[in-house]
Structure 1
Amino acid sequence: MGNPPAVLLDATSLPPSWGGVARYIEGLLGGLDELGVAIDVVAKPADVARLRENAPGHRYHASPGGVAKRPIRFAWEQLGLPRLARRLGVDLIHSPHYTFPLSTRMPSVVTVHDATFFTDPGAHSRLKRTFFTWWTRRAGRSAGALVAPSQATADAVRSRVQVAHAGITVAYLGVDAARFHRPTREEITGFAREHGFGQGWIAFLGTIEPRKNVANLLRAHAELRVRRAARDLPTPQLAISGSRGWDSEAGALLDASTPAAGVTELGYLPVDELRSLLGGATVVVYPSLGEGFGLPVLEAMATGGTVLTTRRLSIPEVGGDAVAYAEPDAAAIRDALDALLDDPAERERLAAAAVERAATFTWRRCAEQHLEAYQSARAAR
Structure 2
Amino acid sequence: MLITMVQGGADPGRDGVADYTRHLVGALAGEGTRVEQVPVDGPARGVLRAARRIRELRPDVVHVQFAPSAFGFSPWPGLLPDLVGAPVVTTLHEYGWWAAPPRVPDAVWRALERTGRFDRETWRLAPAGAAAVTTNAGHAATLRERLGVEAALVPLAPNVPDLGRTQPREAVRRRLGVPEDAEVTAFFGFVHPVKGLRYLIEAVAGLRAAGRRRLHLLVLGGFTSLALPEGEARAFRDELTAWTRTCGVADHVSITGHLPAEEVSAALHASDLAAFPFTAGVTTKSGALLSAFAHGLPTIVTPADPPDPELVDGRTVVVAPRVRDPEVLRDALVRLLDDPALRGRVAAAGAALGAERTWPRIAERHRELYARVLGARGEPAHA
Task: Using structure 2 for the length normalisation, give the TM-score.
Answer: 0.73
Partners of 1:275 and 1:93 lie apart in 2 by: 33
Distance 1:21 1:310, change over 3 A: same
Matched, 1:82 2:51: yes
Structure 2: how far apart are the matches of 1:314 and 1:9? 32
Q: Match of 1:7, SS?
A: strand
> Tell me, what secondary structure is at the counterpart of 1:296?
helix
Alignment correspondent of 2:187: 204
Counterpart selection for 1:180 from 145, 162, 165: 162
The offset of 1:156, in angstroms, is 3.2
Equivalent residues of 2:207, 2:330 under 8 A apart? yes
Structure 2 counterpart of 1:262, from 252, 273, 276: 252
Query: Which residue of structure 2 aligns with residue 283 of structure 1?
Result: 273
Query: Which whole-Å deviations, capped at 9, do the CAs of 1:321-368 have from their partners, x for residues lacking one?
Result: 332222233221110101211223432333334333322212233223
Query: Which residue does the alignment assign to 2:326?
Result: 330
Instruction: Report the Cα distance in structure 2 between the residues aligned to 1:315 and 1:76, rounded to whole angstroms.
Output: 39
- CA shift digits 1:191-218 (9 cap, x unpaired): 2101221024211112233432222222
2:220 is the alignment partner of 1:241: yes
**Is it true that 1:216 corresponds to 2:199 in the alignment?**
yes
Report the more deviating stretch, 258-267 or 329-338: 258-267
Asked whether the equivalents of residues 159 and 287 of structure 2 are also in contact (C-alpha less than 8 Å), the reply is: no
1:95 aligned partner = 64
Contact 1:140 1:163 in 2 (8 A): no
CA distance in 2, matches of 1:319, 1:79: 46
Q: What are the within-5 Å matches in structure 2 for residues 1-381 of structure 1?
A: 6-11=2-7, 13-17=9-13, 20-36=16-32, 38-42=33-37, 72-75=41-44, 77-98=46-67, 100=77, 102=79, 103-104=82-83, 106=85, 107-115=87-95, 117=97, 135-136=121-122, 138-159=124-145, 161-162=146-147, 167-175=150-158, 179-184=161-166, 186=168, 188-198=169-179, 199-227=182-210, 229=211, 233-244=212-223, 245=228, 252-258=239-245, 260=250, 262-288=252-278, 289-290=280-281, 291=283, 293-312=285-304, 315-317=308-310, 321-327=315-321, 328=323, 329-375=325-371, 377-378=373-374, 379=376
Give the Cα–Cα distance (whole angstroms) in 2 for the partners of residues 340 and 28 of structure 1: 34
Partner Cα separation in structure 2 for residue 143 and residue 206 of structure 1? 32
The worse-fitting range, judged by mean Cα deviation, of 101-110 and 271-280 is: 101-110
Give the drift of 1:86.
1.7
In 2 relative to 1, CA 115–280 (structure 1 residues): closer, same or farther, beyond 3 Å?
A: farther
Query: Is the alpha carbon distance of 1:261 and 1:158 closer, same or farther for their aligned partners in structure 2, counting shifts above 3 Å?
Result: farther
Pairwise CA distance, 1:147? 1.2
Return the alpha-carbon distance in structure 2 between the equivalents of residues 356 and 181 of structure 1.
17
Ranked by relative contact order (alpha carbons within 8 Å, sequence separation 6 or more), the top structure is 1
Aligned residues: 330
- In the alignment, the residues of structure 2 paired with residue 11 and residue 341 of structure 1 have an alpha-carbon distance, to the nearest angstrom, of 42
| Backbone CA RMSD of aligned residues | 3.5
Higher helix share: 1
Alpha-carbon distance change, 16 to 181 in structure 1, aligned in 2, over 3 angstroms: closer
Distance 2:284 2:205 in 1: 29
The answer (yes or no) to whether the contact 1:192–1:200 under 8 Å persists in 2 is no
What is the CA deviation profile of residues 70-97 of structure 1, one whole-angstrom value per residue up to 9, with x for unaligned ones? xx44456412222222222223311113
Matches of 2:236 and 2:250, distance apart in 1:
21
CA deviation after TM superposition for structure 1 residue 299, in Å: 0.8
- In structure 2, the partner of 1:56 is none
Whole-angstrom CA distance in 2 between matches of 1:279 and 1:153: 32
Name whichever of 252-261 and 355-364 sits farther off: 252-261
Could you tell me the TM-score, scaled by structure 1's length? 0.73
Contact 2:25/2:35, CA 8 A, preserved across alignment: no
Q: Go from structure 1 to structure 2 and tell me whether the alpha carbon gap of 1:303 and 1:292 turns closer, same or farther (over 3 Å shift).
A: closer
**Alpha carbons 1:285, 1:308 under 8 Å: kept:** yes
Decide whether aligned partners of structure 1 residues 184 and 88 sit closer, same or farther in structure 2, where only a CA change above 3 A counts. Answer: closer
Instruction: Write out per-residue CA displacement over residues 287-325 of structure 1, whole angstroms, 9 at most, x where no aligned residue.
Output: 222447111111111112121113425755377933222
Contact 2:184/2:215 (<8 A) preserved: yes
Structure 2, unaligned runs of 5 or more: 72-76, 103-118, 379-383
Cα distance in structure 2, aligned partners of 1:261 and 1:113: 37
Kindly indicate whether the alpha-carbon contact (under 8 Å) linking 2:201 and 2:244 is maintained by their aligned counterparts in 1: no
SS in 2 for 1:197: coil
Identity %: 27
Alpha-carbon displacement from aligned partner over 1:154-208 (angstroms, at most 9, x marks no partner): 123434x4355xx42111122478x42453561x222210122102421111223
Aligned partners of 1:215 and 1:250 also within 8 Å: no
